[in-house]
Amino acid sequence: MPDLVFVKIGGAVATDKEKEATLRPAALADAAQALKAAADEGGIQLLLGHGGGSFGHFPARRYEVKSGIHPKWGFDGFQITRGWMEELNGKILAAFAAKGLKLYPIQPSSCLVAESGRIAVFETSPIAALLRFGRIPVIWGDAVLDRSFGFTIVSTESLFAHLAAKFGPARVVVLTDVDGVFRHAEEAHAPGASPIRTITPSMFESMKEDLRQVTGVDVTGGMFEKVEKLLKLAREIPKAEVRIVNGRDADAVRLAVLGKYNGGTAISSEQA
């Protein structure tokens, strides 16, 4: 049986998060090529996810979508954000098709309902069917209906945590635009700086405030929520390897997906 590998294409890889609705076509193409190379080596089955980047986060912030029905805009923000996420998803599908990988989109807002900001119902049968047929499903962080708020935002990491409990991936690889997780945001681009090799629950407690410093427009909590959700996933699936790597480093992406990479930042449920 091939290893099931969840891969998130971060919004900072696919888009310029500082400029609204701006794609990074070269970076996206490189990530697609690296994943194609990993798939061609065999022994893996992919389930992909992607963030909202500058397509989703700008309208979500503008219309305060995470908070639900707005007294001024009503459901407009929900519709607009969903529309921009569909636009981004289409561009990602095209980029992967150009490299020879066909993705099958599963839109979360059409098969998921939240309650008080958390996933309450998630119909995963289409994903299970695609995996059974050896296809590559792709999901994404999305504006979804919420029983309490009307609607809210659910991140890709939240979707992965839910799906991991059901499908039991061997690895979860999150692609970002830096070499891993750094305690302070400015270190990520400092010459010679190295990312944290492993983050455990106790380490996370000591660095929460630092990770809350978000770079760019991100309504889902930036690196703080990524690590928090991935720690939850690691606790639920302790045998899974969970790693954050640089999505612009083709060799790192390919090796991480194949389970042959020790760089980036590993997320572990075990205390050091």
Residues 197-222: tens digit of each pLDDT: 999 999 999 888 888 775 554 554 57
What pLDDT band is residue 257 in, cutting at 50, 70 and 90?
A: very high
- Domains present along the chain, CATH in parentheses: 3-267 (3.40.1160.10)
Q: Which two tokens stand for residue 10?
A: 């971060």
Contacts of 9 (CB under 8 A, 6+ apart): 28, 31, 48, 49, 50, 51, 92, 175, 247
Q: DSSP character for 187?
A: G
What mean pLDDT comes out for the span 143-172? 96
pLDDT band of 164, cuts 50, 70, 90: very high
Burial of 99 (0-12, 13-18, 19+ CB in 10 A): middle
Question: 10 Å Cβ neighbour count for 238?
Answer: 11
Residue 152 DSSP SS3: strand
Instruction: Report residue 172's pLDDT band, with 50, 70 and 90 as the boundaries.
Output: very high
Residue 113 has pLDDT above 90, yes or no: yes
Entry pTM: 0.94
User: In Å, what is the CA distance from 122 to each residue of 19, 49, 166?
Assistant: 32, 15, 11
Binning the chain into helix, strand and coil, the percentages to the nearest 5 are 45, 25, 35
pLDDT of 272 over the 70 cut: no
Within 124-183, where are the H helices?
Answer: 125-132, 156-167
The mean pLDDT of the chain is 93
* Spatial contact of 4 and 132, defined as CB atoms under 8 Å apart: no
Buried b (16+ CB within 10 A) or exposed e, 24-61: beebbebbbbbbebbbeeeebbbbbbbbbbbbbbbbbb
What was the pLDDT predicted at 220? 47
Terminal CA-CA length for the chain: 31
Residues 65-84, mean pLDDT to the nearest whole number: 95
pLDDT score of 98? 98
